[in-house]
Amino acid sequence: MEKVDVNGQQKSPVYQFLRQTAGDGDIRWNFNTKFIVHCHDNEGTCEITRHDGGFVTSAQALRSAQPKKIDLNQMRSEL
């Protein structure tokens, strides 16, 4: 792993995807923005939620947020 840009024109493709999927807006400094990715292998889907500020556990995130569900099979076919 290496340092990557998470905001601006040169942002990493991973963060570009996360922001498009779970909510755009600048990622806040010092780990204040978190993305929780929960995948269901048997369904071929993942749920992605974005959390800005504060401490959050994955269990809290999955209970409190409105996850954005993505279909992994569809994404693979588009690549």
Choose between 63 and 12: higher pLDDT. Answer: 12
Question: Is the pTM of the predicted complex or chain greater than 0.75?
Answer: no
Task: Note the pLDDT of residue 6.
Answer: 86
Distance CA 62, CA 47 (A): 9
- pLDDT (average), residues 31-59: 78
Task: Note the pLDDT of residue 33.
Answer: 83
Task: Note the pLDDT of residue 78.
Answer: 61
Task: Note the pLDDT of residue 57.
Answer: 63
Choose between 32 and 11: higher pLDDT. Answer: 11
Whether residue 37 is predicted with pLDDT greater than 70 in this model: the reply is: yes
Please give the full DSSP string across 21-76, using - where no structure is assigned: HH--SPPPTTTTEEEEEEEETTTTEEEEEEEESS---HHHHHHHS-PEEEEHHHHH
